[in-house]
Copies of this chain bind each other. A is one copy, B any other.
C-alpha cells in the first residue's frame, strides 16, 4: 500500500488558520490500516449551518444516503470520517452501521444523531463494524482542539501520498472571516458533484441555503472539473460548514446567496475548492504530470466542458502525456468522440505556448524538438480552440502511468 510521495505534491502542508467553533481529533481505530490514524471526529459549535454535494452515482454509499437525509435540517454538530472502508454496497448492515456510528458520535458530543455527518472511504463491499467507533469517538471528543489541520487531513487518506489542505482569509462587511478545507482522493476520481471527500469550514455566519448555493456555483469549475480515471465514486462528498463564530466580531448574518457583501468570500471559497481539487489530481495514482486542458471557441460552456473532459478522460491522451509525447492526434480523436459540435478543419491545438495544429492539420511551423522539450515539464497546459463560438472550460487531469495500473491491480487483495 505504501507508495512514494507524488512528485507533484506541494513542498509542504500549508499554514492554515483555526476556525472558531471547529475542533477535531483523530484516532487509530484499526479499521483496515495499522499504525496510522483512520478516524476523524470534528466537533462543531451549536448553530453551525451545513450544506453538501454528493456523488451522482446510482449506487451511493450508506454514509452518502445518511448525509443527504441529515442535511435537510441545515444544521450540524459533528462529522465522523473513517478511512480504510467505504461502507458502500454493504446492504442493510451498512445502514445499521451508519445509524450506530451516528448514535455513538451524538452521545460523545451531546447532540442528536441527525446532527452528525458521516463519511467513509476505502474498500467497497466489505462490512464496516461500527463497534470500532465505541470509546474512540468519546475519547476524540474529549481531546478535540482547533488545530493543527494536518492531523485530520492525514486521517482521511487512503492511497493518497500526501495530506491536502487549503485556506483563505477574507472580509465580509469589513469583518475578517476564514475558510479552511481538507480533502482526500487519489483514485476513483471523476467527481460528479464532488470529489471523494472534502470538508470545508468557515466561521462566517452564512445560512445553510446560501452555503448550498455557493457550493453549487463553485463545484462545477473545481471538483467537477477534475478527473484521474473517469471512475465516479460511490462516496463523493463535499461539505461546507459555517459556525457563525465571526458574528461575535460583528460579521453580519448572510441569508441570501446574492448578497453583494459575499463577493470576496465567494471568490475565496472558489480558490480554496480549486486548490483542493488540484491537489487531488496531483496525487492521482501514479501521476507524474499535471495537465490543464482548456477548450475555447465551443458552442457553449457545457459543450466546452464535455470536450475538455473527453480529452481529460482519454486513456490514450493520458498515456501519451506519461510518455511526454505531444500526440495531438489523440486529442483530435478525443474531441471527435465527445459527440459535441466540432469542425475538424477549424481545430487548433497548443501545448503551452506552442501551436502544434491549425485549421485541421499540423502547424507549418511545428518543431518536434521544441514541443518535446516542453512536454518534459511537470505542469502542462493544453489548449484546444474549436473556432465555433464563445464557450470555454478548463478541466484538469494527470497522466496514466504504469504505476496507476500497479497500484490498482493490487489495492484490495
Contact with B along A336-347 (1 / 0, CB 8 A): 111111101101
* Nearest CB of chain B from residue A266's CB, rounded to whole Å: 30
Q: Is the CB of B401 within 8 A of A316?
A: no
A75-110 interface mask toward B, CB cutoff 8 Å, 1 = contact, 0 = none?
A: 000000000001011111110000000000000000
Q: At the interface, yes or no: A397 with Cβ under 8 Å from chain B?
A: no
Report yes or no: A336 in contact with B229, Cβ–Cβ below 8 A. no
CA distance A402 to B404 in the complex (A): 8
Within 8 A of B (CB), among A26-57: 55-57
Interface flag for A199 (CB, 8 Å): no
A residues 363-413 near B (Cβ < 8 Å) are 372, 400-402, 404-406, 408-413
Q: How far is the CB of A344 from chain B (nearest CB, A)?
A: 4
Partner of A325, one of B56, B344, B361, B412: B412
CB distance from A194 to the nearest CB of B (A): 14
Q: Which of A216-253 contact B (CB under 8 A)?
A: 229-234
Interchain CB contact under 8 A, B234 and A336: yes
Q: In the complex, which residues of chain B have a beta carbon less than 8 angstroms from the beta carbon of A187?
A: 316
Complexed CA–CA distance, A3 and B36 (Å): 43
- Give the one of A88, A336, A406 with max B CB within 10 A: A336
Contact flag A230-B315 (CB < 8 Å), given A89-B329, A409-B320: yes
The reply on A322 being an interface residue by CB < 8 A is yes
Instruction: State the CA gap A313–B231 with chains docked (Å).
Output: 9
Tell me if A261 is interfacial: C-beta within 8 Å of chain B. no
Question: In the bound complex, how far is the Cα of B6 from the Cα of A225, in angstroms?
Answer: 37
Q: Nearest Cβ in chain B — how far from A16, in angstroms?
A: 31
A15 interface residue per 8 A CB criterion: no
Given A231-B334, A336-B57, A402-B405, check contact A123 B361 (CB 8 Å).
Answer: no
User: Interface digits, A300-328 against B, CB 8 Å rule (1 contact, 0 not)?
Assistant: 00000000000001111001101111011
Q: Is A354 an interface residue (CB 8 A)?
A: no
CB pair B124–A333 under 8 Å, yes or no, is: yes
Q: Are B408 and A316 in touch, CB under 8 angstroms?
A: yes
Write out the residue numbers on chain B whose beta carbons fall within 8 Å of the beta carbon of A86: 329
Asked if A335 lies at the interface with its beta carbon under 8 angstroms from chain B, I say yes
Please state if B192 and A344 are interface contacts (CB–CB under 8 Å).
Answer: no
A360 beta carbon closer than 8 Å to chain B: yes
Does the CB pair B406–A402 fall under 8 Å? Answer: yes
- Tell me if B412 and A360 are in contact (CB < 8 A): no
Residues of chain B within 8 A of A319, CB atoms compared:
404-405, 408-409
Q: Knowing A125-B329, A329-B124, A400-B405, say if A89 contacts B337 (CB, 8 Å).
A: no
Known: A124-B329, A316-B187. A342 touches B59 (CB 8 A): yes
- A141 within 8 A of partner (CB): no
B337 in contact with A192 (CB, 8 Å) = yes
**Among B232, B334, B344, B404, which residue has its beta carbon within 8 angstroms of that of A405?**
B404
A346 vs chain B, min Cβ distance (A): 10
Measured between beta carbons, the chain B residues less than 8 angstroms from A342 are 58-59
Residues of B within 8 A of A256 (CB): none
- CB of A332 within 8 Å of the partner chain: yes
Q: Is A134 an interface residue (CB 8 A)?
A: no
7 new A-B contacts at CB < 8 Å, known A58-B337, A319-B409: A57-B336, A58-B344, A90-B362, A92-B361, A125-B328, A230-B230, A325-B413
| A-to-B contact residues, CB < 8 Å | 55-60, 86, 88-94, 123-127, 187-188, 190, 192, 229-234, 313-316, 319-320, 322-325, 327-330, 332-342, 344-345, 347, 357, 359-362, 372, 400-402, 404-406, 408-413
